[in-house]
C-alpha cells in the first residue's frame, strides 16, 4: 500500500527511454543559439524568487497582480494568437458599406429615436431591478401576456403552465416587460404523460449499457473522487509556482469538478469528466498537467502533452488559460490551429514545447508535413468537448490522432454533455477510466432563466422582425444570438447595421483575423450583439454575457445546452431566450423534461405582435438595400481576391525554383474520403443525381470498356437518324 500523500510520477523519469528521430541534430543548432538568452532569463528569475517569501508558512494571496473577480471571472484575450495571424487581404470592411447604404434619419425621426432611447433606459433600469429581485428572492418570473389568441395554454405542448395576462393593459407598452406574478408558480413544469412511459426495449438497452459501464469504468471511482470534494488548492499540496499562477488569476477555491479531478489526474489515471458549462473544466485538467510537468526531466526538451479542441477559438482560450497559470514556471506551450501562420507554428514545434494545444486537422498536418516534429513521446492526451470530437465529422481525424499517439499515454476526456456510451469510448483506448460526473446529465446552470417564444406557422416570416423587436425593446447589451445558417447570420448582421443595432458576427466563412476581432470587439464592449453559428457555442468564456438568444431551436438538446451555457457562468445569473416553431417540438420537449427534473426556471414570453408586424414591414422595405449591400460586398471581395491572386502569381514566378523544391504536403485521406467526412460533419448529403454520375464515372474508369450489342444498336440508330436528317435538309 502506498501512502496517501505519496506522489506517483507518470512523467518519464529516465531520459534514456525517450526515443528521438534524426531531426534532433537540426534542432540542436537552433537550441544553442537560445542558450545564452535563457541563462540571462534564469538569472532574472532567481533574483525575483529571492525577493519572494518562500517560508513554510507562506500563503499566496489572491489578486496579487490584478483585481479580477474570484473564480472564472477573467477575460481571456487572444494576444498570442494575434501575433501569429496571417494577414488576410480579402477581408472587406462591411461597416463602411452599411453606413453608405443606411438611410439617414430626418430631424423628426431623430427626436423620436431620442425619446425611445430614454424610455428604453428607464425600462432597462426597471428590468435590472426586477432581475436582482428575482435572483435574490424569487425563483421564477413571467411576462404579462399580450392579446394572442393563438397562444397554446400548455406552453407549446411542453406542459408549461399558462401565464397570467392583464386584458386591460393589452395595448400598453408594458405588455412585454417581465414582472413577478404573485400567488402563482410560473415556470413550473408538469409531467408529460405521453413520453413518460419507458418501453421494455429501452429498459433492456439501459440494463445492457449499465452492465457495460460497470465492466469498463474503474469500480468505485466516483466515491474515491468524492472524498476530496471540499479541499482547497493549498490542501492539494501543489507546487509554489502553480499556486502563484492560480492566485494571480484569483482562483481561490476549486470548483467541484476541479476538486474531484485534480487529485485523480495527478495519479495518472484516465478520466471521463462532465460538469455544467462555466464550471472550470479547463483548469481541472490544466492544473494537474502543469503540476506534473514542473518535475519533468529538463536536459533534452520533448513534447509530452497534447490537448485537442474542436474549434480554433476554444483552443486559443485553452492556450491562454494554461499560459497564465504557468506564468511562473519554465513550461513551454505551442498553439497549432488553422488560420494562423504555418511557419511560426513549425518554428515553435522544432523547439519541442512541453504542451501542444491544437485542433485535429492542423495537428495531423504538422505530424505529416513538419520536419523535426514527432509525437512518439506524448504521455498525456486531453480531448476537450469530447462528445463533439466523437461525432461523425471528427471520427476519421480522431482515429488518426489516437493511432499516432503512444498507447501507454494517460487520456482525459471532458465535456458539459459527456457521453457514457462505452462503444463510443472504446476506440480511444482508455485504460479503466475514472468517471467523474459532477452534475446531472444534460444540466444547465442553476441561475439560468429559460424563456420560450412560440412562433406560429402563419408568423414564420416574422422571425427577423421578432428578433429585432426583442433586441430593441428588452436586451440592449452583451447578447449572443445563435443561428443555424451562417449565410443567414451574415444577412441579419447587415439588417442589424441598417436598423441601428451595433453588432458583429462569427462563423466559419470568416477569416481567422475577422473571428478573433469579432470576439475581442464583443468582449471589450465595442459591439452589443454577437451573431454566431455553433462555432461559438462550445467552451468560450466571455465575461458578462447577460443574454443568449436562439433564433431557431438547435438540432439537438446537447447543442442547446452548450449555447445557453455562454451565459450564467461561474455562479452568475443569465437568461436564454428561444424562438421555437412547429419543427422544434422534439428538442423543446427534451429541454422541458430536463428542466422539470432539475426544477429549473422555465417561462414563456409573449410579444406585442402589432409592433412586430410594423417592424416586419420596415424590414421588407429594407430588402432592396440589403441586396445592394451584399452585392457591393461581393464586388469588393472579388476585387481583393483578384489582387491577392495577382500578387500570388508574381511570387510564384519570382520564387519558382524554391517553391518547386518544397516537398508536397500529404494527408491521411484521399480527396474522396475527405469529401465523405465533410458530408458527415455538415449533414448535407450529395444530391442523388450527382452521386449516380460520380459512381458511373468511377465504374467506367475502373473497367476496360468493350462495346456491347446495345452500343452497336445505338450507333446504328444514330447513323440512320443522321442520314435521314441530311436527306431532309437536301
Q: How far lies 481's CA from each of 464, 496, 499, 553, in Å?
A: 12, 12, 16, 11
Domain-embedded: residue 154: yes
- Provide the CATH number for the domain around residue 530: 3.40.50.300
Q: Has residue 704 got a pLDDT over 60?
A: no
Separation CA 621–CA 610 (nearest Å): 17
What's the pLDDT at 680? 67
Domain-embedded: residue 144: yes
Which comes out higher in pLDDT, residue 357 or 569? 357
Mean predicted confidence (pLDDT) in 91-112: 72
Mean predicted confidence (pLDDT) in 570-580: 91
What's the pLDDT at 329? 96
Q: Which residues have CB under 8 Å from 41's CB, separation 6+?
A: none
Mean predicted confidence (pLDDT) in 306-326: 95
Crossing angle for the helix pair 392-404 and 360-369, nearest 10 degrees? 40
pLDDT band at 719 (very low <50, low <70, confident <90, very high): low
Q: Has residue 143 got a pLDDT over 80?
A: no
- What 8-state DSSP symbol labels residue 165? B
Q: Has residue 571 got a pLDDT over 70?
A: yes
Pairing, β 142-143 against β 178-179: antiparallel
Domain-embedded: residue 507: yes
What's the pLDDT at 476? 92
Q: What is the DSSP string of 73-103?
A: -PPP--HHHHHTB---TT---HHHHHHHHSP
Cβ pair 272, 434 in contact under 8 A: yes
Mean predicted confidence (pLDDT) in 152-172: 37
Separation CA 713–CA 473 (nearest Å): 73
pLDDT band at 697 (very low <50, low <70, confident <90, very high): low
What's the pLDDT at 5? 45
User: Which triple of cell numbers denotes residue 102?
Assistant: 443606411
What's the pLDDT at 342? 92
Domain-embedded: residue 373: no
Which comes out higher in pLDDT, residue 363 or 204? 363
Cβ pair 451, 579 in contact under 8 A: no
Sign of CA dihedral 29, 34, 39, 42: negative
Weakest mean pLDDT among 100-104, 477-481, 658-662, 720-724: 720-724
pLDDT band at 354 (very low <50, low <70, confident <90, very high): very high
Mean predicted confidence (pLDDT) in 526-540: 93
What's the pLDDT at 124? 45
What's the pLDDT at 200? 60
What's the pLDDT at 427? 81
User: Which triple of cell numbers denotes residue 189?
Assistant: 413544469
Separation CA 94–CA 96 (nearest Å): 6
Separation CA 518–CA 506 (nearest Å): 6
Domain-embedded: residue 648: no
pLDDT band at 484 (very low <50, low <70, confident <90, very high): very high
Separation CA 106–CA 71 (nearest Å): 48
Mean predicted confidence (pLDDT) in 368-382: 92
State CA 730 to chain mean position distance. Answer: 72
Cβ pair 495, 622 in contact under 8 A: yes
* 425-452 per-position pLDDT tens digit: 888 889 999 999 988 878 888 889 999 9
Q: How far lies 105's CA from each of 110, 499, 684, in Å?
A: 6, 11, 43
Domain-embedded: residue 332: no
Weakest mean pLDDT among 422-426, 502-506, 515-519, 522-526: 422-426
Q: What is the pTM of this model?
A: 0.74
Domain-embedded: residue 125: yes
Q: Has residue 173 got a pLDDT over 80?
A: no
Secondary structure E strands in 209-292: 271-274
- Helix (H), strand (E) at residue 650: helix 623-654
Q: Considering its fold, how many domains does the chain have in total?
A: 1
* 222-246 per-position pLDDT tens digit: 444 444 455 789 888 899 999 999 9
Domain-embedded: residue 417: no
| Mean of the per-residue pLDDT values of the chain | 76
Q: Is 560 exposed, middle or buried (CB count within 10 Å of its CB: 0-12, 13-18, 19+)?
A: buried
Mean predicted confidence (pLDDT) in 679-699: 55
Q: Has residue 522 got a pLDDT over 90?
A: yes
Q: Has residue 86 got a pLDDT over 90?
A: no
Q: Has residue 595 got a pLDDT over 50?
A: yes
* 385-413 per-position pLDDT tens digit: 999 898 878 888 999 999 999 999 999 99
Mean predicted confidence (pLDDT) in 87-112: 72
Q: How far lies 292's CA from each of 106, 266, 471, 626, in Å?
A: 66, 7, 48, 55
Rg (CA), the chain: 30
Separation CA 154–CA 161 (nearest Å): 6
Q: Has residue 75 got a pLDDT over 60?
A: no
Q: Which domain holds residue 123?
A: 119-167+175-191+444-621
* 2-23 per-position pLDDT tens digit: 444 444 445 554 545 445 454 5
Q: Has residue 127 got a pLDDT over 60?
A: no
| Residues facing residue 602 across a β-bridge | 450
What's the pLDDT at 175? 35
What's the pLDDT at 411? 96
For cell 423628426, what's the residue? 108
Amino acid at each position: 500500500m502506498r501512502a496517501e500523500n505519496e506522489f506517483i510520477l507518470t512523467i518519464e523519469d529516465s531520459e534514456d527511454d525517450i526515443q528521438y528521430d534524426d531531426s534532433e541534430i537540426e534542432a540542436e543548432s537552433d537550441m544553442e543559439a537560445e542558450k545564452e538568452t535563457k541563462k540571462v532569463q534564469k538569472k532574472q528569475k532567481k533574483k525575483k524568487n529571492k525577493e519572494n517569501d518562500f517560508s513554510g508558512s507562506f500563503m499566496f494571496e489572491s489578486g496579487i497582480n490584478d483585481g479580477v473577480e474570484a473564480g472564472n471571472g477573467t477575460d481571456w484575450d487572444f494576444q498570442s494568437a494575434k501575433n501569429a495571424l496571417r494577414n488576410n487581404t480579402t477581408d472587406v470592411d462591411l461597416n463602411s458599406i452599411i453606413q453608405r447604404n443606411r438611410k439617414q434619419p430626418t430631424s423628426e425621426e431623430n427626436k423620436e429615436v431620442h425619446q425611445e432611447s430614454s424610455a428604453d433606459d428607464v425600462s432597462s433600469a426597471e428590468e435590472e431591478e426586477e432581475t436582482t429581485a428575482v435572483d435574490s428572492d424569487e425563483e421564477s418570473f413571467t411576462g404579462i401576456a399580450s392579446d394572442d389568441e393563438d397562444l397554446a395554454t400548455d406552453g407549446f405542448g411542453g406542459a408549461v403552465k399558462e401565464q397570467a395576462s392583464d386584458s386591460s393593459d393589452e395595448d400598453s407598452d408594458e405588455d412585454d416587460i417581465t414582472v413577478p406574478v404573485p400567488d402563482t408558480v410560473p415556470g413550473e413544469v408538469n409531467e408529460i404523460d405521453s413520453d413518460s412511459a419507458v418501453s421494455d426495449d429501452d429498459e433492456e438497452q439501459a440494463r445492457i449499457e449499465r452492465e457495460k459501464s460497470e465492466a469498463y469504468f474503474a469500480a468505485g471511482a466516483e466515491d474515491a473522487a468524492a472524498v476530496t470534494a471540499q479541499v482547497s488548492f493549498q490542501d492539494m499540496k501543489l507546487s509554489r509556482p502553480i499556486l502563484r499562477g492560480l492566485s494571480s488569476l484569483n482562483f481561490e477555491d476549486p470548483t467541484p469538478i476541479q476538486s474531484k479531478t485534480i487529485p485523480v489526474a495527478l495519479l495518472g489515471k484516465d478520466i471521463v469528466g462532465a460538469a455544467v458549462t462555466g464550471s472550470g473544466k479547463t483548469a481541472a485538467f490544466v492544473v494537474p498537467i502543469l503540476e506534473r510537468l514542473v518535475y519533468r526531466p529538463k536536459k533534452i526538451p520533448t513534447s509530452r502533452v497534447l490537448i485537442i479542441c474542436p474549434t480554433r477559438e476554444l483552443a486559443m482560450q485553452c492556450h491562454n488559460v494554461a499560459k497564465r497559470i504557468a506564468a511562473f514556471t519554465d513550461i513551454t506551450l505551442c498553439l497549432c490551429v488553422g488560420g494562423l501562420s504555418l511557419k511560426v507554428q513549425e518554428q515553435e514545434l522544432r523547439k519541442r514545447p512541453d504542451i501542444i494545444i491544437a485542433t485535429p486537422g492542423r495537428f495531423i498536418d504538422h505530424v505529416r508535413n513538419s520536419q523535426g516534429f514527432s509525437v512518439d513521446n506524448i504521455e498525456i492526451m486531453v480531448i476537450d468537448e469530447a462528445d463533439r470530437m466523437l461525432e461523425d465529422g471528427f471520427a476519421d481525424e480522431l482515429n488518426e490522432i489516437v493511432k499516432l499517439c503512444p498507447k501507454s499515454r494517460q487520456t482525459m476526456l471532458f465535456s458539459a454533455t459527456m457521453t457514457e456510451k462505452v462503444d463510443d469510448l472504446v476506440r480511444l483506448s482508455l485504460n479503466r477510466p475514472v468517471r467523474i460526473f459532477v452534475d446531472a446529465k444534460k444540466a444547465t446552470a442553476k441561475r439560468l432563466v429559460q424563456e420560450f417564444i412560440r412562433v406560429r406557422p402563419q408568423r414564420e416570416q416574422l422571425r427577423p422582425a421578432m428578433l429585432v423587436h426583442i433586441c430593441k425593446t428588452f436586451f440592449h447589451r452583451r447578447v449572443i444570438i445563435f443561428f443555424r445558417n451562417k449565410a443567414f447570420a451574415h444577412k441579419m448582421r447587415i439588417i442589424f447595421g441598417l436598423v441601428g443595432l451595433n453588432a458583429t458576427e462569427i462563423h466559419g466563412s470568416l477569416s481567422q483575423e475577422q473571428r478573433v476581432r469579432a470576439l475581442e470587439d464583443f468582449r471589450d464592449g465595442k459591439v452589443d450583439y454577437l451573431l454566431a453559428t455553433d462555432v461559438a457555442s462550445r467552451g468560450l468564456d466571455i465575461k458578462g454575457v447577460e443574454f443568449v438568444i436562439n433564433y431557431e431551436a438547435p438540432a439537438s438538446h446537447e447543442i442547446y445546452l452548450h449555447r445557453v451555457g455562454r451565459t450564467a457562468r461561474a455562479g452568475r445569473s443569465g437568461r436564454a431566450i428561444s424562438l421555437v416553431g412547429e419543427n422544434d417540438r422534439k428538442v423543446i420537449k427534451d429541454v422541458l423534461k430536463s428542466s422539470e427534473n432539475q426544477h429549473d426556471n422555465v417561462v414563456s414570453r409573449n410579444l406585442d405582435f402589432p409592433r412586430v408586424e410594423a417592424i416586419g414591414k420596415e424590414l421588407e422595405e429594407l430588402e432592396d438595400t440589403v441586396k445592394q449591400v451584399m452585392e457591393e460586398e461581393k464586388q469588393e471581395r472579388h476585387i481583393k481576391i483578384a489582387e491577392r491572386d495577382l500578387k500570388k502569381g508574381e511570387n510564384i514566378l519570382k520564387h519558382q525554383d524554391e517553391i518547386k523544391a518544397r516537398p508536397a504536403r500529404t494527408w491521411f485521406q484521399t480527396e474522396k474520403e475527405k469529401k465523405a467526412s465533410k458530408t458527415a460533419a455538415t449533414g448535407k448529403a450529395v444530391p442523388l443525381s450527382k452521386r449516380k454520375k460520380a459512381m458511373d464515372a468511377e465504374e467506367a474508369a475502373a473497367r476496360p470498356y468493350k462495346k456491347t450489342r446495345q452500343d452497336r444498336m445505338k450507333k446504328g440508330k444514330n447513323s440512320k437518324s443522321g442520314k435521314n436528317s441530311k436527306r431532309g435538309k437536301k
